[in-house]
Each structure stands twice: as C-alpha cells, then as structure tokens.
Amino acid sequence: MKTTILAAAALAAGASFANAQQLAPSPTLDAIKARGNIECGVHLGLPGFSFANDKGEWTGLDVDYCKALAAAVLGDATKVKFTPTSVQQRWPILQSGQVDLLARNSTITFSRNATLGLNFQGINFYEGQTFIVRKKANVKTAADLDGASVCVAAGSTEEKNAADWFRERNLKVTITNFQKNDDAITAYDTGRCDAYTAGVGALAGQRVKLKVPDDHVILTQPISNDPQGPVTRWGDERWQLIVRWVLNGTIAAEALGVTSANVDEMKANSKNTEVRRLLGVEGGFGAMMGLPDDWMYKVIKQVGNYGESFERTVGMGSTLKLERGQNQLWTKGGLLFTPPFQ
Amino acid sequence: MSEATLPLWRKRLFGTPATAIGTLVIAFCIAWIAVPFLRWALIDANWVGTSRNDCTAGGACWVFIRARFGQFMYGLYPVDQRWRVDLTGILFLLSVLAIVFAPKRLQLRLGLSALVILPPLGIWLLAGGFGLRPVETREWGGLMLTLFISVYSSLIAIPLGILFALGRQSELKVVRLVSILFIEFWRGVPIIAVIFLASLLLPLILPSGVGIDRLARAVIGLGLVIAAYMAEAVRGGLQALPSGQREAATALGLTYWKATGLIILPQALRISLPAMTNEFIALVKNTTLVLVVSILDLLGIAQASLADPAWVGMNMEAYFFSGGIYWLICYGLSRWSRALERRGRQRQR
Amino acid sequence: MPLTKALALINDKRVRDWIYQLALIVGLVALTVYFVRNASQNMVKAGIASGFDFLWRTSGIDVPFVLTSYTQADNILGLFWAGVANTMLVTVIAIALATLLGFVLGIARLSSHWLLSTLAGAYIEFVRNIPLLFFVLFWYFGVIAALPAPRDSLSVFGIAFLNNRGLTIPLPDAPANFRWAIAAILLAWLAQWLVAFWARRRKDRTGRDAPVVAIGLVLVILVPILAIAWASLATRWDIPILRGFNYRGGFVVIPEFVALLAALVTYTAGFIAEIVRGGIQAVPHGQTEAASALGLRRGPILRFVTIPQALRVMMPPMTNQYLNVLKNSSFGAAIAYPDVVSLFMGSALNNTGQAIEIIAMTLAVYLVIGLAVSALMNWYNARIALVTR
C-alpha cells in the first residue's frame, strides 16, 4: 500500500518533471486560460485592419489574426477582446501587461525592437509608405510634393520616414504631426494639408473617411518599406512561440491549399505530411507549445487561411480593394513566407 | 405687450441717441451671426430619414443624431441591458432629490446612508455580476460614461479634498507640509498629462499581475486632481469660520475629530458648497480629456461616430449636439450653485 | 509606576502629535518605496530602459513651428526645449489677449446699455459652461479650416498672406538691426520707469505734478515706432511668394497656433470677465460717490478710485486663471500644435518609450513655470496691496 503510494508519487513527480522540461512556464498563457479570453491591442479604427462597427463588432486583417490566436489557444475564435489603442498608448499598454499582444499595423524597426522591450513575431502585412493627394493638385510622385504641407500621425514611423525622405532630397515640406490618425485625416480633408501620409493599406482604409473619396488619389510609388506584424513583450518565450507560429500557420495553410472550406476533408484524407502536421494529425506539434494538437485546424476552420482573411478584409472582397502585391505568397512572386512545419 | 412694459423696453433700447445707435449696431451683429446659424440648425435642417442620402436640404443633418442617439447616450452598452443604466440614473436622481427635500434633521443621516449604499449599488448595476449579465467597461460610453466619471471621480475627490483642506489648516507641521505639497502639485499640472500619467503609471507601480480597469485609472487620476481643487474650495469655507468655533468646541472637551466632524465641517461645507459645485462643473468639463486614453465619453463617442464612413462630414452636428448637452448640464449646475450662494448670503444677514 | 508614566506620556498632546507625524512620514516613505520597487521590478521584467540617456539621441522629428534653433538633426533634449518654448509663447500671448478681452467683456457686462450687458452676460454664460476642448476643435476644424486655400489667399498689402496653411509674414534677412531696435525700446522703457519714479518722489516732496504722461508717450510709444521703422527700412526683407503648393520664404504662423490661441482667449475671457465684474462690484458704492463729491469725473474715478481697489480683489482669482491658461495650453495636443505635451509626451515618448522620465519632465515644466507665474503675481499683489501707513 505504502509502496504503491510512494511509487505513484514518484511517478507523478517524474511526470511533472518531464512535463516541466518540455514546456517552459508561460504566465501569459496561464493568465489567458484563467481569464478565458485573449486581450488584443488594436488600432482605434482603421477600416480593413481593425474597425468596430456601431454595434461594437470588430473586423479587419489584424482582428482576424487575433481571432485566429484565440481559436488556437482557447479553441474558440470569439474568445478575444479588443483594446483600441492610440499611437501614443500602444507600447506602454503592451509593456505594462494590459494586453497580451498588439496586432496594430505597427512597423517593425530596429530601435523599437532594441529599446522598447518588444519583439516582433513575423510579418502579416508588407506595407509601404505613400501619400494621398487631391487629384486636382496634379501630383504624380512624392518628389512633386516640394513645398507642400503633409499631415501625419505623431509618433509613427511615417513621421520620421517622411522627414528623412524629403530632407535627403533637399525638398522643403512642412510636416504637421497629429496625435490621432483620425485628426490627421480630417485636417487633410479640410484643406490644412496637401497630402496625408501613411502606408498604402492604411491609406486605402482611411480613404473611405474622406468626404468625397473619389477626389483623391493614392500615389503608387512607396517611399519606404514598413513590414508590420504582431508584437509581444520580452520574456515568456513560449507565448512568443505561439504568437509567431499561429501567423506562420495561416500562411502555411494558404501555401498548402488548406482553406476553411476544405479543411475537414484535408484533415481526413490528405497524404501530404506537412498538411498532416499542420492540422495535428501527426507530429504532435500543438503539444510542444502546450496547445491541443488540432490548434491550426481550429484556426483554419473558424477564421480561414491568410489568403481568405486578406481577401475578406483588405482585398477584392472588401471596400479597400487592395492587390496582393508584396503580400502574395513567395511561391507566387510575393514576399509572404513561412518557415516549414517540420 | 402691455402698456406698462412698453416704455421700459423702449427706454432700455432707445432711451438716448447713443443708446439707440448701440442697440442697432449690436442687433445687426446678432442678426449677422444668428440668421445663418438658425437657417442651418432649424430652417434648412433635415429631420427625417435613415441615412446620409436623406440629408438633401443643405442644412444640419439631424438624422445623424437620431440614428446615433443610443450611442451618444450609452456608448456600446448592450441594447437589452440599457435599462440598468436608466435605473442607476433614476436611483441617483431620486436620492439627491430625497436628500434635498428631506426634513433638516434627517438630511445628514440620509446623505450618509446614500453615500454608503449608492456607489457600490451603481457599480453593480452598471458592471453586472452577481446575477446580472456582466458588461465590461469598454462597452460603456457616451453621456452615461461622462456622468459616471464625473460622479465617481468626485466620490474620490470630495473626501480626499476635505481631508487635505483640514491637513492644510493643521497645527502639525508634517501634516501641513504634506497637504500643501499634495494640493499644489496636482493644481500645478495639466489634467491631460494626469490622465495620461494615471493610465501609464498606475499599472507600473502596482505589483505585476494586479490589473486595474482602464476606466478606473482615469477615474482615479481625475479624482486626485479634483481633490486638490476641492481642498482649496473647502479651505475657503474653513477660513470663513471664526476661530472661536473651534476654541469653544475644544473648551467643551470635544476631541479634534469630534469638534471637526460635529462643529467645524457642517458649517464650513455649507459655506463652501457653491465653490465645490463650481469645481464639480470644471470636473464635468474636464471629463472630455479621457479621450486621450481612448475612453469614449460623450465627446469621444461623437468623434468616433465621425469616423464612420457611412456618416462622413457630420462634424458640426455631432459637436453641436454633444456640446449642447455639456452646456445644459453645466449651466443647470451653475444656476444651482448661484442659488445656494444667494441663500447662504441671505442667511448671514 | 512606569505604566502610569507611559500613559501620561501618551496622553501628553505634544508627544502624541510627534507620534502621529512620525507615523505619517513612515507611512509615506513606505508607500513610495513600495511603488518605486514595483516600478523598477516591472520595468526590468518588461525590458524597458530607464535613465535620461535618451535625451541625447537624435530626434529625427520635423517640427513645423520652432522658435529655438531646433532642427530635425538635433537631439531629443532640443525637441523638449522647442516644445517648452512653444508652450510659453502661446501661454504668454493668450494671457495678454484674454485679459484684454476679459476686461472689455466685464465692463460691458456692467454697462448701463441693457442690450450690451445682456449680450455680454449671455456670452459669459455660454462660454463658461462648455468644455474647452470644444473651443479648440471649433476654432481649428470650424473656423480656420474655412480660410481659403493658398492660391486664393487673403493678401495683406502684398507682403503677408492669410490662408488655411496659416499666416505667412515677411522675415528680415539680417536680424542685427532688430536687436538694436529692441535694445533701444528696452532702454526707453527703463527711462520711462525712472522718470515715473522720480516724478512720484518729487510729488511726495513738493506736491507738484510732472508731465509724466507726455514724456511717457514719447518714450513708450514713439521711440519703439521709430526704432522698428528704422530697423524695417534698413533691412532687406524675405517677402513670401506663391510657388507650387504654398508661399515660400517668410515666417509662417501656423493655423494650429492661431486656433489654440483663439480658443484659449475666447474661453478664458469669459472667466476673467466674471472676475472683473466681481472686482468692480466689490468696490463699495460710497467710494465712487465720495470721489464724485470731491469733483472727480468718470474717467479719473475709474482710474484712481475704482480700478486700484478692484485690482486688489481681482488679483488672486486672476492668478488662478493665468495658471489655468498655462495648463490649458496643453489642449494644443488635440490639434497638432507642437507644444511640450504634443512633442515630448507625444512624439518623443513614442520613439523612446521612456514613459516615466518623459512624464516627469513634462510635469516639471508646468510646475516650474506655474511657480514662476505665482511668484510674479504674488509680487505684484504685494505691490498693489493696501498700504497702511
């Protein structure tokens, strides 16, 4: 009797030890499970990326990513709550632990990575900074903006980018920095500025907020590369792993042809080992992160792969009508890439 | 118009040639501003419809306000739960009325019990839990949030303010110094910075894992600032009391707190009530600043609704409507404060 | 025996007071230590850098309206000073204009003309009960935005141009002449102050009036006009010309500045008007009656009897209003006026992420300027206070 208890205790201790060896502790994941939802920091309101309608329902590319994360971690894409953040608040809100991650079309930069205690977990949108101008101003490229005044959101990468770009070319441009994107776009619309600068995708989203969207044109040539993706705090490596690989998983799913429509069929019948590993049929990949093995199955079933999400939120199926461009898969001439599920 | 009023009216406006010229100039200026405004707001305005396309008359598009009225009042509070907000509002109003019109000897007791019961009850009704469906603060908004922040900030500010006002008058040097530092610090910094500070610093200085709701942070930040202003208002009342009051109370053998609670404060607060009301008005106006931390109060909801692509270009309507509500609240309160002041002065005579 | 002694000690008021104060100090220190420890732990855990090294990093932020020599290539400390200078600029001008408009409104409120006083009253009631943010947004998005585009600018004598990008005014190519002019003006004002001082002394001694006002007109008004006129004519001017999108050359007073200034002035004037009215009404009626019985006319009564006494009542609340203007200038952040909140607590905070240091510095700016304004007003208050000889 005694020995059996001791043996059981030893076994339990051994098992828990083995378990601990496999899985690093993840306070963020524990907190999410205890809370029952993911706290996701998003943009205040950028159609196509994160926008709440008048009933408080969120849609957009970044929002879809948060939903995918909720499906992977909690098995239910609706178990996510969105915290709208301004340009100023986003880093402190993440740093102080008020959100689990930011999916807030924020550009990856060296100094943010190095000095703010932040890690960028991959790229979910290749953005390029450009300008929206009035059609009648007859501007073809950014260089034509010499002497113009430009509205921009303060504290964004665009603020510095634009200043650097014009200075390098000896062009005199007045840059007016607003605390909120919406104020900057309103100021542009009322004629305070000749141009408003932001990423191509953001501009396509903001354009619908103009009084007469057709009077304006978005310059096609970007002046910079602004890769954007989900951001986490330093520390808690396992949580970072999950954030990174859910994004990779949605890209891999598109590359492997797994969609929300055929995911059941693929899970049952696919002979492709990578598909089988992705959907949790073999390999036990989910368990390695402390998630159920069918984590990506749930993501694709409930949210869809990257391509589906793109078309629905910013692509041809949306009001933004953006081309895939750089955001096309690497196999089809774009930059979107994922390391293999191996 | 009766004959008795006509000459007065005429004398006031056209008594002397100089007066008459002044009247004409001013009347012209008023007409110059008021006529286009009235045309926009009333004559050319659009009242019925469902979307922006129904606004064709050129004037204000009040259709927008009608469509968004629920949000202006309640923010994103779930529609089927809004009765809870109404109920909370009615409860608060009724208890204020009850206290004001109760017989004198009951007033204090009623007020204190309302102070103990109402705030937690209000939070329970609004936030839910314990049998009610939970509604998170991120869904709160609009006028309801403006009033919530104002009331709950002043629930922090008034007791703290009284404490610091007493501290500033204290004989104990350390207490006095601490009170002065507290009051002058918060009075010296802009509220926009304080709200920002509260939202960033509070989570940082508490042990990790202790989360405070972001609405609570804004309420605490505003409460601390207004406490400093309230303290100055109360100090006015304390200084207006003759020092004989405390001396007499002490001579009767009352301890400091008893003398303060029974003799000094009731009189001092009565004197400083108008000043405190003015600080409350300032507080209501300053709640607009919570939009720097993306909390959608009445003005915040107005701005957010402007970003809706379906209702582009409704700036004037949104600002006019929300500004009007702020004006009504603050103007009502300031009339009340002035009536109090007048009554106080009459009592002194 | 020791027990009763101890009890006696506790019952001694002085001892008890010491214990209370000691407890308060210990409590406050403990609380501070607790907060600081939590903060440093949280920051280490989050990987946030601390310290003030970031101030010497290159800022890279372009500021459209600078009074200092700041450029985009300067460090963040330079950005901070540029913001402080802009805050001070708008505060000082707003205080001056709000006082002026407030006095006009306050006196209009007391006017015997019924319509004028009612109108002033309505304006005051309107302004005092609306949040300042509405004024800022109204002036910026409502009024300034309605100005014409650069091509249709309102031209002022062909040298200054008003449009929705602001007011473009000519700028002197060589500022040296203006330095001389300003020096001359300051000298003239100093001379006037000395003259007034001498005249008062002489009047106290001999009872004779000196022509202070006539000398003052020359020194305070004519000399500056001549000095500025000389400097303007002797300098080559950079006159703005329309090229491309906007006027080139000259100095641009940005619309954000104008809108913030207009909002602060129109809002604060409502409060100052009430102070002025209260101050004037606080002067007992007997004073004016006595003065007119002495044969003084309306103007001198206002100047020598009413206003000096009213000022005494008005000074403390005026100080509060001036401090409010300083604090309220932070509302400029809502409309992109590059003040210290917008530049430092906005842009710089975002680029460096060092929230605690930046917020502390920003608050310190307001506290220091606020203390300076209070000190100045207290000095003035003491000067005009009732002197009992």
Each residue's pLDDT tens digit, A164-183: 899 889 888 888 888 888 88
With an 8 Å Cβ cutoff, are C355 and B178 in contact? no
Give the CATH number of domain A25-126+228-332; options: 3.40.1380.10, 3.40.50.280, 3.40.47.10, 3.40.190.10: 3.40.190.10
Pair B316, B344 in one domain: yes
Nearest CA in chain B to A81: B138
Q: Which one of B292, B294, B312 has the shortest CB-CB distance to A209?
A: B312
Joined tokens for residue C132: 């300042």
Contact B138 A179 (CB under 8 A): no
Residue B48 covered by a domain: no
Answer yes or no: do B127 and B205 share one domain. Answer: no
Residues of C numbered 28-87 whose beta carbons fall under 8 angstroms of chain B's beta carbons: which are they?
Answer: 28, 35-36, 38-39, 41-43, 45
Inform me whether the C-beta atom of residue C377 falls under 8 Å from chain B C-beta atoms: no
Whether A18 shows a pLDDT value over 50: the answer reads no
Residue A272 has pLDDT above 50, yes or no: yes
Mean pLDDT of chain C: 86
Please check whether residues C360 and C296 belong to one and the same domain.
Answer: yes
Does one domain contain both C40 and C93? no
Is the confidence at residue A12, as pLDDT, over 70?
A: no
Is B249 inside a domain boundary? yes
Closest partner residue to B200 among A84, A92, A208, by Cβ?
Answer: A92
Residues B124 and B204 in one domain: no
* Per-residue model confidence as pLDDT tens digits over B220-233: 999 999 999 999 99
Checking if the pLDDT of A19 tops 70, the result is no
Local structure of residue B56 (DSSP, 8 states):
-
State how far the Cα of B42 lies from the Cα of B155, in Å rounded to an integer. Answer: 40
Rounded alpha-carbon distances, angstroms, from residue C57 to A164, B45, C52, C90, C345: 16, 54, 10, 27, 16
pLDDT in the model for residue C101: 95
SS3 state of residue A230 = coil
Distance CA C343, CA A176 (A): 11
Distance separating alpha carbons of residues A81 and A103, to the nearest angstrom = 12
Q: Do C153 and C90 lie in a common domain?
A: yes
Question: Does one domain contain both C127 and C261?
Answer: yes
Q: What is the pLDDT of residues B122-133, one digit of tens each?
A: 999 999 888 888
Q: Phi and psi dihedrals of B24, rounded to 5?
A: -65, -45
Q: What tokens does C208 get? A: 């004779």
Q: Which of C146, C154, C352, C92 is nearest to C259 (CA)?
A: C146
Neighbours of chain A (3+ CB pairs under 8 A): B, C
Residues of B in contact with A41 (CB under 8 A): none
| Mean pLDDT to the nearest integer, A231-235 | 90
**Is the domain of C257 the same as that of C316?**
yes
Over residues C115-133, the mean pLDDT reads: 92
**Chain B closest-CA separation from residue C129 CA (Å):** 5
Task: State the smallest CA–CA distance between residue B330 and chain A in angstroms.
Answer: 27
The rounded distance, in Å, linking the Cα atoms of B240 and B265 is: 12
Domain co-membership, C282 together with C374: yes
Is the CB of A235 less than 8 angstroms away from the CB of C47? yes
**Does C379 lie in the same domain as C279?**
yes
Range of the structural domain that residue B13 is part of: 5-43
Q: Does C330 touch chain A (CB under 8 A)?
A: no
* Residue C46 · residue A95 · CB < 8 Å: yes
User: What is the model's pLDDT at position B12?
Assistant: 74
Same fold, A25-126+228-332 and A129-224: yes
When CB atoms are compared, the residue of B190, B281, B330 closest to C366 is B190
Q: What is the mean pLDDT of chain A?
A: 88
In the structure encoding, which two tokens stand for residue B152, read together?
């709950």
C27 — contact with chain A (CB < 8 Å)? no
Residue C389, pLDDT > 50, answer no
Structure tokens at C219: 């020194």
What pLDDT is attached to residue A205?
A: 87
Strand order in the sheet with C160-163: C154-156, C160-163, C166-169, C251-253
Residue C60 lies inside a defined structural domain of this protein = no
Region A194-210 average pLDDT: 89
* Assigned token pair, B9: 């009216």
Q: Which residue of B has its CA nearest to A181?
A: B307
Answer yes or no: is B262 within a domain: yes
Does the beta-carbon distance from A182 to B307 stay under 8 Å? yes
Greatest mean pLDDT among B244-253, C169-178, C296-305, C320-329? C320-329
**ipTM of predicted assembly, 2 dp:** 0.88
What integer is the mean pLDDT of B5-27?
78
Q: Which of C42, C243, C347 sits opposite A154 (nearest CB)?
A: C347
Q: Check residues C240 and A286 and name the one with the higher pLDDT.
A: A286
Q: CB–CB of B178 and C24 under 8 A?
A: yes
Q: Residue C21 is part of which domain span? A: 2-47
- Say if residue B65 is in the same domain as residue B91: no
pLDDT surpassing 70 at residue A277: yes
Indicate the domain borders of chain A: 25-126+228-332, 129-224
**pLDDT grade for A1, boundaries at 50, 70 and 90:** very low
List the one residue out of A208, A164, B165 whose CA is nearest residue C71.
Answer: A164
CB contact under 8 A, A97 and B308: no
DSSP H stretches of helix in chain C: 2-11, 13-46, 76-109, 114-128, 132-137, 176-206, 212-216, 223-234, 255-282, 285-293, 298-300, 307-328, 340, 349-352, 355-384
Residue in A99, A194, A63, A100 with CA at minimum distance from that of residue A139? A194
Please say which residue of B87, B115, B134 terminates a domain: B134
Determine the pLDDT at residue B209.
Answer: 64
| pLDDT of B1 | 44
CA nearest to B268, candidates B242, B291, B286: B242
Q: Which residues pair with C172 in a beta bridge?
A: C237
pLDDT by residue (tens digit) across B183-223?
999 999 999 999 988 888 887 888 766 667 889 999 999 99
| The CATH number of domain A129-224 is 3.40.190.10 | yes
- Given a contact cutoff of 8 angstroms between Cβ atoms, the answer to whether C97 and C265 are in contact is yes
Q: What proportion of chain B, given as a percentage, has pLDDT over 90?
A: 33
Selection from A117, A130, A121, A89 nearest residue A103 by Cα: A121
- State the Cα angle at A335 between A329 and A337, rounded to 5°: 60
- For A282-291, A298-307, C158-167, C358-367, which range has the lowest pLDDT when averaged over its residues? C158-167
In chain C, which residue's Cα lies nearest the Cα of B15? C113
> Domain check: are B84 and B201 in the same one?
no
Same-domain status, C115 and C27: no
Which pLDDT belongs to residue C239?
A: 77
Q: Which CATH number goes with the domain that contains C292?
A: 1.10.3720.10
Q: Is the pLDDT of residue A129 over 90?
A: yes
Among C21, C38, C141, the residue with its CB nearest the CB of B174 is C21
| C165 found inside a domain | no
Read off the pLDDT of each residue in A4-10 and give the average, rounded to a whole number: 52
Residue A2, pLDDT > 70, answer: no
Judge if C271 and C315 occupy the same domain.
yes
Determine the pLDDT at residue C224: 83
Q: C86 or C381, which is more confident?
A: C86
pLDDT for C141-152, tens place per residue? 888 888 888 888
Helix ranges, B206-314 (H): 214-240, 244-251, 256-258, 265-286, 298-306
pLDDT, tens digit (0-9, with 9 covering 90-100), for C90-114: 999 999 999 999 999 998 998 888 8
Among chain B residues, the shortest Cα distance to C39 is held by: B205
Residue B347's pLDDT band, with cuts at 50, 70 and 90, is low
Question: Number of Cβ pairs closer than 8 Å across B and C?
Answer: 124
Question: How many C-beta neighbours within 10 Å does residue B273 have?
Answer: 19
- Are B124 and B149 in the same domain? no
Cβ(A75)–Cβ(A67) below 8 Å = no
Handedness of CA C345, C349, C355, C360 (dihedral sign): negative
Whether B193 and C359 lie within 8 Å, measured CB to CB: yes
B211 and B173 fall within a common domain: yes
Tell me which of B69, B100, B134 is where a domain ends: B134
CA-based torsion, A154, A157, A162, A164: positive or negative: positive
Report the distance separating Cα B60 and Cα C75, nearest Å: 48
**C63 lies in some domain:** no
DSSP of C162-214:
EETTEEEE-EES-THHHHHHHHHHHHHHHHHHHHHHHHHHHHHHH-----HHH
Q: How many domains does chain C have?
A: 2
User: Strands C251-253 and C246-248, how do they pair?
Assistant: unpaired
Same-domain check for residues C33 and C111: no
- List the alpha helices (DSSP H) in chain A: 2-22, 27-35, 61-74, 90-95, 110-115, 157-168, 181-189, 200-207, 237-255, 263-269, 273-278, 285-289, 295-302, 306-313
Is the pLDDT at A160 greater than 60? The verdict is yes
Predicted confidence band of residue A4 (pLDDT cuts 50, 70, 90): low
Residues B245-279 have pLDDT tens digits of 888 888 888 888 888 888 888 888 888 888 899 89
Residues C302 and C359 in one domain: yes
Q: For chain B, what is the domain count? A: 3
CA B69-B74-B76 angle, to 5 degrees, is 100
Per the document, the length of chain C is 389
Three-state SS for A190-229 is CCCCCEEEEEHHHHHHHHCCCCCHHHEEECCCCCCCEEEC
Question: Is residue C172 one of the residues assigned to a domain?
Answer: no
Residue C365 has pLDDT above 90, yes or no: yes
